[in-house]
Structure 1
Amino acid sequence: MRQYLEFEKPVAELEAKIDELRRMPASGEINIAEEVARLSAKADAQLKGIYAKLTPWQKTQVARHAERPKAAGVIAALIEDFIPLAGDRAFADDAAIIGGMGRFRGTPVMVIGTEKGTDTETRIKHNFGMAKPEGYRKAKRLMELAGRFNLPILTFVDTSGAFPGIEAEARGQAEAIARGIEACLSAPVPLVATIIGEGGSGGAIALAAGNAVLMYEHAIYSVISPEGCASILWRDSAQAPVAAEAMRITAQDLKKLGLIDEIVQEPLGGAHRDPEAALAALGDEVERQLAPLKDLSPEALKAKRREKFLAMGKVGL
């Protein structure tokens, strides 16, 4: 059964009527097919109108939708012959970050993603996508491995942020994230990063400092969650919608600011409504961004990546 967000209630009511009509036996009193077609057109128009004017807070809700494609689903759909690799070779394997080698449309690649999980059991297993130091050290290890074997790196980010627990801090969370960013910037191979859901704080950028940074149309990318920002500035997490507006967290805002390179369009109503189409669009854009990077030397790749991030935030005098 499809899960509807609060602002989708008008569409939910129409689609409930459509389902009810489809279950009705045929009768001469009403042409069910015509009525279904009429209501379907009305529902599509409602959905189009709603999604054409989503607020940043509503986009946040879409980015967090439980049925939205997760990193494991992206890998399953886009990567062939995937061989998972585990562990940071120092402490443990962190299930919040998954990765390994495979083929992307015929090209051998290293793929790394933050995985939130799809149900209660897998969310607990993957710690809701909040990685600990060992997760970022695993990502760093895989990036270095990719460099040794000349494998382009594809990353898929979906995290509210790094795990904030005491044990993570005790094991060097900040240092591990910094090393992850360093590994991204120093990788001698192409790196294409995609924000597929939430891109939260350093926990996201540790995997997203790429030559090309993509975002799904309804994904979000920010230094802190709207709730966290509201709690700090107003001491009231209920102000999250106001914070989301002020923080410029949407793909559209970030593209204008030059912080991302391309927006991957989602099906009408969000990626969760048609994951297959959403994943196909993502694959096409990743392929388009990766193609020109393959011809660059390691020195050129690193130089362009460094220049790209140093240029962010510059203001003309």
Structure 2
Amino acid sequence: MTTTPLEFEKPIWEMERSLESLKARAKQNPVGLKEEIATLERRLGEARRSLYASLTAWQRVQIARHPQRPYTLDFLERLAQGFLELGGDRAYGNDPAMVAGLATFGGRRTAFIGQQKGRNLKENLRRNFGCPHPEGYRKALRVMRLAATFGLPVVAFIDTPGAYPGVGAEERHIGQAIAENLAEMSQLPVPILAVVLAEGGSGGALGIGVADRILMLENAYYSVISPEGCAAILWESRSHAPQAAEALRLTAQELHQMGLIDRIVPEPEGGSHRDWDLAAQLLEKALIGTLDEICGRNREDLLLERYEKLRRYGVWKEGNESF
């Protein structure tokens, strides 16, 4: 797949183009070019390793937002057998920004839910840029209740900058819809596994993110607010988004260190957008291993462990301390 380079990747992209040009010339006249190609390949490999081993938080945010990054349906196409999409919330309508349905995965019947973005303007308008309305969260909850009825595990794919904040969403009670999901997911009597595929923004992400295990792709981010939103509030300028990204500690590496997620899923070098099939294979391995771990629990132990996990998210000390 031909990918569009991000700004910080331009030097590597130029080296890749030079290497392609050399290889094309070598097909016509291989004399004297073999050693030059080997040298450039070595330099390119070193440059890639150096760059991707030291990404800043803002650079990871940019990779997470890459327009060629695989979305929920792209992963389901590669992971789930016989995916049957279900529509509608049985109250208002169907929200294309939220995908939900049933499939076979790893030999198990499984319920999948997840946010879905579009590839072009027309599709993004239909998918609302991956920002669900209240009916999207109610649809997800309907499928999760169905999973509970038949004893199916739930896998939630998170990829949204946030729930839609428009007037219509407020009129149809977006806050209540998300709150109901949080409450019911905390007590759903089946295993729940959440995966942050790319963007995990605010309550829009959390609305399908209460789970027994939370995984993140290594270049995804998960945050209470976007870097631009944080910068607009604290610095009164979106230009400070890189500083906000560092302050928010929103990367998979930092969240894993703080115990807020359970596992980091590796990506192809440079990001999942460079190789969708390899990205799906790496995610499949992590999903199957995690489902094997939690699907054998009895209901009481599962819910108790989930309760204790949620309680650990908010820890504080009381008392008079000198500063």
- Same fold at TM > 0.5: yes
Return the letter of the residue paired with 1:263. I
Q: Deviations over 1:244-264 (max 9, x none)?
A: 000000001101111100000
**CA distance 1:67–1:238, change in 2 (3 Å):** same
Q: Which runs of 5+ in 2 are unaligned?
A: 319-323
What is residue 92 of structure 1 aligned with on the other side?
A: 93
Aligned 8 A contact 2:227 2:242 in 1: yes
User: How big is the shift at 1:316?
Assistant: 6.0
**Post-superposition CA distance 1:158-198 (Å, at most 9, x none):** 10000111110111010011111122212110001000101
Aligned to 1:293: 294
State the secondary structure of the residue aligned to 1:103.
strand
Aligned to 2:58: 57
SS class of match (1:187): coil
Please report how far the alpha carbon of residue 217 of structure 1 lies from its aligned counterpart in structure 2 after TM superposition. Answer: 0.6
How far the C-alpha of 1:30 sits from its partner, in A, is 4.5
CA contact (8 A) 1:26 1:32 kept: no
Percent identity between matched residues is 42
1:160 corresponds to which residue? Answer: 161
CA contact (8 A) 2:84 2:103 kept: yes
CA distance in structure 2 between the partners assigned to 1:115 and 1:26 by the alignment: 43
3-state DSSP of counterpart to 1:244: helix
Q: How does 1:199-278 map to 2 (within 5 A)?
A: 199-278=200-279
| Cα drift, residue 41 of structure 1 | 2.5
Alpha-carbon distance, 1:148 to partner: 0.3
TM-score by length of 1: 0.96
Say if 1:30 and 1:248 are closer, same or farther in 2 by CA, change over 3 A: same
Moved more, 118-127 or 142-151: 118-127
Q: Does the 8 Å CA contact 1:143/1:183 hold for their aligned counterparts?
A: no
Structure 2: distance between partners of 1:157 and 1:15: 32
Give the distance between the partners of 2:174 and 2:29, measured in 1 at CA.
68
TM-superposition CA deviations, 1:10-41 (whole Å, max 9, x none)? 10110111222233364558544443333223
Shift in Å, 1:117: 1.9
CA distance in 2, matches of 1:86, 1:161: 21
The 3 A distance-change label for structure 1 pair 14 and 191 is same
Report deviation, 1:69.
1.4
- Greater displacement, 291-300 / 201-210: 291-300
Q: Equivalent residues in 2 for 1:15-164 (5 A)?
A: 15-24=16-25, 26-28=27-29, 30-164=31-165
Q: Distance in 2 between the 1:5 and 1:201 partners?
A: 25
Change (3 A) 1:121 1:37: farther
> In 2 relative to 1, CA 311–29 (structure 1 residues): closer, same or farther, beyond 3 Å?
closer
Letter in 1 for 2:237: D
1:300 deviates by 2.1
CA gap of 1:27–1:236, structure 2 versus 1, over 3 A, is same
**1:49-78 CA distance string (max 9 Å, x none):** 111111100110011111111101111111
Distance 1:27 1:108, change over 3 A: closer
Decide whether the 8 Å contact of 1:152 with 1:190 is kept in 2: yes
> Cα–Cα, structure 1 residues 2 and 33, in superposed 2: closer, same or farther, change >3 Å?
farther
